[in-house]
């Protein structure tokens, strides 16, 4: 039985003025907590978001010099505007993403 691996198209929101790229790995406990905080914050913000398992995107990690997970990139089209590694709280995330 073969498994298909779903590789996310990271560039799918590059036509949008403001969008998010959330990088994680499945074995990262902090990533799961951060993802939940991000989901809560984004219920308010309603920004386009792509969540990527960085294990399947080594070139993206290298090109963007991703140092640790979780990582959240606030994007303007295909340009990084802000990078967040420490998801301190939902209000903090909201403030950083406005």
Determine, yes or no, domain membership for 49.
yes
In a domain, 14, yes or no: no
**Residue 64 belongs to some domain of the structure:** yes
Domain enclosing residue 84, as ranges: 26-97
Q: For 27-62, write each residue's pLDDT tens digit.
A: 999 999 999 999 999 999 999 999 999 999 999 999
SS3 content of the chain, % helix, strand, coil (to 5): 40, 25, 40
pTM of the model: 0.90
For position 9, what pLDDT does the model report?
Answer: 84
Q: Domain containing 55 — which CATH number?
A: 3.40.30.10
Q: Residue 71 pLDDT > 80, yes or no?
A: yes
| Token couple for 59 | 């070139």
Sheet of strand 19-24: strand arrangement:
49-53, 19-24, 71-76, 79-84
pLDDT at 1 over 90: no
In percent, the amount of the chain with pLDDT more than 90 equals 87
Structural domains counted in the chain? 1
């Amino acid at each position: 039985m073969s498994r298909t691996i779903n590789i996310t198209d990271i560039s799918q929101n590059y036509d949008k003025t403001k969008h998010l790229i959330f990088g994680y790995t499945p074995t990262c406990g902090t990533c799961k907590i951060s993802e939940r905080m991000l989901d809560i914050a984004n219920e308010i913000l309603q920004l386009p978001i792509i969540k990527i398992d960085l294990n399947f995107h080594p070139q993206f990690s290298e090109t963007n010099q991703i140092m640790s997970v979780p990582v959240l990139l606030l994007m303007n089209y295909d340009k990084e505007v802000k990078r967040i590694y420490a998801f301190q709280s939902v209000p903090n995330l909201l403030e950083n993403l406005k």
